[in-house]
């Protein structure tokens, strides 16, 4: 009887702690043997967002200036959506001037283009420039922070909350390694973000003020082209970065590294692991034309269908063969259509199982034909052109 009770208790214990509810990536992370001092870390492949390695991925931690990835994301989206221009002037307020920590020493009333302010944020980690950008885009830092948190909710992230746009210590300001990897993955979709965060040095104020990128992996590790560092006494050393080699893009996030430059060494360990063990199978480039569909009552009467992004899957080395693509598309579309409107999916399969899907988009705008244009088309079909 005692033996039976012991076995039942043991079985219950194993179920609770090692049962099927444990995510696959967590099981993998427990057996990889990577030794990191970071409080939390994630290695993610950027193509599909799969986590390849993790340590405490959902632990809520301060992230210091890594915060500015979200600040830059909102600014880049505003430019992409036509709500802001890189050439427009940004005027520093007294509130921006009062920011401490890393800064470009803005004076109240001093002006820079939005592009130069964003370079100061991305390269110099300037807190004063971050606040100036936030106030310029949303009217106040408080309104900008509300937009940051709304964006987090839209992305479905559960372990991130922003209290400011700089990363300066504040109550209720935290993220997780997984959440920050997702935020960086979203930012990487914008070429402007990659352009800004890949700048290693920049001359401001006509060469009187030199900016050096705090992300030293831009020079120290082949393929690194984006990211943001962070440090405070509370957050310790943090880094969210991305590297690409042979078509494989990885995202590495390390939070709470205790020793100086440790966030670089820890990230390199993650990259070495990822590039050694995984490969990208690139099936179609971004913007590839996969079909041409008729558009009912459309001008023009048909439209090319293109891939929204590169169609690729990341697999362990040696498992690169056997992938196929199919297209989920209707036989025809209806006008009007906006350029880049989603119209279907490219589905990647292996062994009859779906492993990835990428949206398919209308390659151009298609307007609805006027009444006279529709009548003329009917007459042409009946009598032929020129009658």
List, by residue number, the catalytic residues.
65, 68, 125
Q: DSSP letter string over 192-253? A: HHHHHHT--EEEETTTTEEEE-S-THHHHSTTEEEEEEEEETTTEEEEEEEEEETTEEEEEE
Our separate counts of H helices and E strands in the chain read: 12, 19
Our CA dihedral for 317, 321, 324, 325, rounded to 10 degrees, sits at: 40
CA distance 308 to 312: 12
Find the Cα–Cα–Cα–Cα dihedral 150, 151, 153, 159, rounded to 10°: -110
Instruction: Tell me the CA distances in angstroms from 255 to 45, 55, 60, 286, one per residue in order.
Output: 18, 10, 10, 32
Query: Would you say 22 and 227 are in contact if contact means Cβ atoms under 8 Å apart?
Result: no
């Amino acid at each position: 009887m005692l033996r039976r009770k012991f076995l039942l208790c043991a079985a219950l214990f194993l179920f609770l702690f090692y049962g099927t509810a444990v995510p696959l990536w967590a099981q993998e992370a427990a057996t990889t043997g990577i030794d990191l001092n970071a409080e939390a870390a994630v290695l993610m492949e950027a193509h599909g967002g799969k986590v390849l390695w993790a340590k405490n991925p959902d632990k809520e931690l301060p992230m210091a200036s890594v915060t500015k990835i979200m600040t830059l994301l909102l600014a880049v989206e505003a430019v992409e959506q036509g709500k802001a221009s890189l050439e427009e002037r940004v005027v520093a307020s007294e509130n921006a001037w009062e920011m401490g920590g890393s800064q470009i020493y803005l004076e109240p009333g001093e002006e820079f283009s939005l592009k130069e302010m964003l370079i100061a944020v991305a390269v110099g980690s300037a807190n004063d420039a971050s606040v100036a950008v936030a106030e310029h885009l949303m009217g106040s830092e408080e309104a900008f922070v509300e937009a940051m948190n709304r964006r987090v909710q839209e992305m479905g992230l559960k372990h991130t909350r922003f209290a400011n746009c700089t990363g300066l210590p504040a109550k209720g300001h935290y993220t997780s390694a997984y959440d920050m990897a997702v935020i960086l993955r979203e930012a990487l979709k914008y070429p402007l973000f990659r352009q800004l965060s890949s700048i290693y040095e920049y001359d401001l104020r006509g060469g009187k003020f030199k900016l050096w990128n705090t992300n030293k992996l831009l020079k120290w590790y082949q393929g690194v082209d984006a990211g943001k560092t962070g440090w405070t006494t509370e957050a310790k050393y943090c880094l969210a970065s991305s590297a690409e080699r042979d078509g494989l893009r990885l995202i590495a996030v390390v939070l709470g590294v205790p020793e100086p430059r440790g966030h670089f060494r820890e990230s390199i360990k993650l990259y070495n692991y990822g590039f050694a063990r995984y490969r990208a199978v690139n099936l179609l480039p971004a913007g590839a034309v996969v079909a041409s569909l008729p558009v009912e009552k459309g001008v023009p009467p048909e439209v090319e269908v293109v891939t929204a992004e590169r169609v690729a899957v990341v697999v362990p080395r040696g498992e690169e063969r056997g992938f196929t693509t199919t297209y989920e598309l209707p036989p025809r579309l209806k006008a009007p259509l906006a350029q880049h409107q989603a119209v279907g999916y490219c589905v990647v399969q292996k062994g009859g199982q779906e492993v990835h899907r990428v949206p398919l988009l209308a390659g151009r705008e298609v307007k609805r034909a006027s009444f006279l244009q529709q009548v003329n088309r009917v007459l042409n079909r009946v009598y032929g052109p020129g009658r």
